Amino acid sequence: MASCQTAHLQVIGGKGNRRWRAFWWDADGKHSPVLGPAWAQNSGKRTPRGAIVWHAADGPKPDQSYSTLKEAQAELRRLLEHEVARHPAPRTSTGTPVTFGDAAEAWLLHGERKRKRNLKRSTLADYRQVLDAYLLPAPEERHSQETIFARAPFAATSLRDLNAAQVETWYDRLPYGHTAGRELLVVLASLQQWGDAHVPWPAGPTVVRRARNSGRPLHVGFIDDRGREISSKDAVFVRTSAYPTGQKDDPID
């Protein structure tokens, strides 16, 4: 179930008073209900991020109020299914599920309409070129044409169904190897970050960005030449000598 990718279980309390706590995120924010007593013990193993791996405790449960890991996972799935039913998938004005392409178009439109983003016409034109060439469904008359990069096969995929494996498989097959693919991932991550904020999936993001080694959360932002992050409000696009003459350099309204 896709929403399980954004939820997890945690054991709280000490020995003799361990309880399962569930965590997930949806349109209403973060949820962290306590599911009840945990019949679990430390396996002695750790996840790649350093969390304890729990398994069922030895012997029979004291009573039915206690849950093993499998039982707690089943209860979490039940809660998430309820949340999915309570929050229908985001849909367009025509009633169809919001796709990656819909979110990409909305992201670009947001940039065109918001002056505070300081996006120039040439920058928006570059964004449009990337979307049209690689990230949006190909027009009917262009289905048979080859592109330098493989067009993203998930362009018409519902945001609910999009997962990290689809994105990774696509950029791994790009003709110029991982460097070009990972550079395009910044564009994809920016679109995903915008979509999570403005057209969120009710049960929370289906994928999250993490540092490979530390597991720390990642976000897309502006970084200066000293490695410091700059607020988007302080980022401006400055015209250079290569800027086409005869064109306005004012930000788009």
In the structure encoding, which two tokens stand for residue 127, read together? 């964004």
Burial class (CB in 10 A: 0-12, 13-18, 19+), 68: middle
DSSP 159: T
Please write the tens of the pLDDT for every residue from 152-173: 778 888 776 777 677 777 777 7
The region of weakest confidence among 88-92, 133-137, 199-203 is 88-92
Q: Residue 190: is it exposed, middle or buried by C-beta count within 10 angstroms (0-12/13-18/19+)? A: middle
Rounded Cα gap, residues 192 and 207, in angstroms: 9
Residue 19 has pLDDT above 90, yes or no: yes
- Three-state secondary structure call for residue 203: coil
Q: Check whether 148 has a pLDDT greater than 60.
A: no
pLDDT of residue 71: 93
**Amino acid letter, residue 86:** R
pLDDT value of residue 34:
92
Tens-place pLDDT, residues 218-248: 888 888 888 888 888 888 888 888 877 655 4
Region 113-131: mean pLDDT is 72
Q: Confidence band (pLDDT; 50, 70, 90) for 36?
A: very high
Sign of CA dihedral 19, 25, 27, 29: positive
Q: Name the percent of the chain lying above pLDDT 70.
A: 71
Q: Using the Cα atoms of residue 195, residue 196, residue 198 and residue 203 in order, give the sign of their dihedral.
A: positive
pLDDT tens digit string along 180-190? Answer: 556 667 777 88
Q: Rounded to whole angstroms, how far apart are CA atoms 102 and 191?
A: 11
149 CB neighbour count, 10 Å cutoff = 18
CB atoms within 10 A of CB 8: 14
Write the CB contacts of 50 (distance below 8 Å, at least 6 apart in sequence): 215
Q: What CA–CA distance (Å, rounded) separates 108 from 97?
A: 19
